[in-house]
Amino acid sequence: MNILRASTPTVTMIALVALTRLLPHWPNFTPVMAIALCGGALFTNRLQALAIAVGSMALSDVALGLVLGPDYAIHSTQPWVYGCVVATVMMGHALRNSSSARQVIVGGTLSSLGFFVVTNFAVWLQGTFYPHTFSGLMTCYAAGLAFYRDGGNFLLNGIVSTYFFSIVIISASKVLQPRTQVARS
């Protein structure tokens, strides 16, 4: 792959995905996990898929930190969040030879549930709000499940947004197939 040909679309995708986190949206209803999942499945170059997913998170975290304050951009659970994004790219790569429906359903469900489990575990492990007991961990997960704001459920929005944006990305890639083949060479 010619890195010069790939760099402009990669930077454009990073900027567009980052922008979606800055626009008003339901809690956790962004294309970030779908970009990670589909990037792993559609790009033969895993580093490019990782660059798009992690780059968009980093760029939007910096922008959100400038708008909402540095505590939003840099927090103790951030390595866990980025780890989930990287794992989702790898899952997408593992599912690359599966049907589109399987990529969306299996990948979307596992990545969203994994994100919820891992990041809430990190909140429990690194925080002081919940006691560091099994009961405290379960209370943290229950609070995560019950997290409602602006009419949306954090976990459900994560799953639905990953399905929705994955379908959009996969459909767009099929429409743009001749162009994708050139980018993959």
Is residue 6 over pLDDT 70?
A: no
Q: What is the pLDDT of residue 48?
A: 86
pLDDT digits (tens, 9 = 90+) for 46-95: 898 898 889 888 888 888 888 888 877 788 889 999 999 999 999 999 99
> Whole-angstrom Cα distance, residue 28 to residue 12?
22
Strands (DSSP E) contained in 34-167 are 148-149, 152-153
Enclosing H/E stretch for 152: strand 152-153
| Residue bearing tokens 């209803």 | 29
> Whole-angstrom Cα distance, residue 112 to residue 155?
7
Is residue 158 over pLDDT 60?
A: yes
Q: What is the mean pLDDT of residues 152-156?
A: 66
* CB 119 within 8 Å of CB 76: no
Enclosing H/E stretch for 149: strand 148-149
Give the tokens for residue 95. Answer: 């599912």
Instruction: Quote the domain boundaries for residue 37.
Output: 3-184
User: How many structural domains does the chain have?
Assistant: 1
Helix 177-184 vs helix 3-22: crossing angle, to nearest 10: 120
pLDDT digits (tens, 9 = 90+) for 96-147: 898 888 888 999 999 999 998 999 999 999 999 999 999 999 999 888 876 6
Q: What is the pLDDT of residue 82?
A: 95
33: Cα separation from own chain's centroid: 2
> Whole-angstrom Cα distance, residue 89 to residue 15?
18
* CB 53 within 8 Å of CB 35: yes
Confidence of residue 154 (pLDDT cuts 50, 70, 90): low
Q: Per the confidence metrics, is the pTM higher than 0.85? A: no
Q: What is the pLDDT of residue 1?
A: 36
Is residue 29 over pLDDT 70?
A: yes
Confidence of residue 11 (pLDDT cuts 50, 70, 90): low
Is residue 153 over pLDDT 60?
A: yes
